[in-house]
Amino acid sequence: MSDVAYLKSLLGVHPDFPKKGITFLDIFPILRDPVAFETLITHLIHHIITANSEAGRPEVIVGLDARGFLLGPIIAMRLGCAFVPVRKGGKLPGAVEVVKYQKEYGTDEFEIQAGAIQDGQRCIVIDDLIATGGSAHAAGELIKKSGGKTLEYVFIVGLPFLKGHEKLDAKSYWMIEAED
């Protein structure tokens, strides 16, 4: 069994969550299993290194609130990068950049601390899932506002039938493709 098939087999599947008609894929069973979690991190690091070799190694891993916080710091540490969180509005101290975005269930806003990303820094955005692409697109806008360059958007699960990846300003990768 491949790493991806193994990890996919561990996902929790929750029909009609968070509302009727939506099937939620839960990554937490992977995080509860140390071997599975190590397999996930190793797979993502290998992908990031090989897929971005020509553009230069990333300098910043940008993790999206909240599940990107579970993956981002570990990946950043292993790659020798900075980790920068993108948070929901009102959660970060000090001066921040703000972007509003549409998500599946309404409108929200993301923030990044001013100065967290320096001019020209190469960034990878990481989160657990891409659906409509609103939050990932907002993160890309924050990186741009900060003077950084997004190399790639990396996800565990992708819902390509929602076409969220088409909103992004750089290539995207997801390990596991969910069915519609």
Alpha helix segments (H runs only) across the chain = 3-10, 28-31, 34-51, 68-79, 134-145
Q: Contact, 76 vs 45, CB < 8 A?
A: no
Bridge-based pairing state of the strands 60-64 and 82-88:
parallel
Q: Contact, 157 vs 174, CB < 8 A?
A: yes
Just list the catalytic residues. 67, 104
pLDDT of residue 22: 81
Q: Which of 126, 122, 123 is nearest to 44 (CA)?
A: 126
pLDDT of residue 21: 83
pLDDT tens for each residue of the chain, 180 residues long: 899 999 999 999 999 988 888 888 999 999 999 999 999 999 999 999 999 999 999 999 999 999 999 999 999 999 999 999 999 999 999 999 999 998 766 789 999 999 999 999 999 999 999 998 999 999 999 999 999 999 999 999 999 999 999 999 999 999 999 876
pLDDT of residue 1: 87
Is 153 exposed, middle or buried, given 0-12, 13-18 or 19+ CB atoms closer than 10 A? buried
Question: Left, alpha or beta for 100 (phi > 0: left; psi -120 to 50: alpha)?
Answer: beta
pLDDT of residue 180: 64
Please spell the DSSP secondary structure of 16-27, one letter per residue: T-SSTT-EEEE-
Q: Which of 145, 150, 137, 82 is nearest to 114 (CA)?
A: 145
**Which tokens hold the place of 27?**
């990554």
pLDDT of residue 99: 97
**Which tokens hold the place of 161?**
């039938």
Cα torsion 126, 166, 119, 59 to 10°: value is 30
pTM, two decimals, is: 0.95
Domains of the chain, first to last: 3-177 (3.40.50.2020)
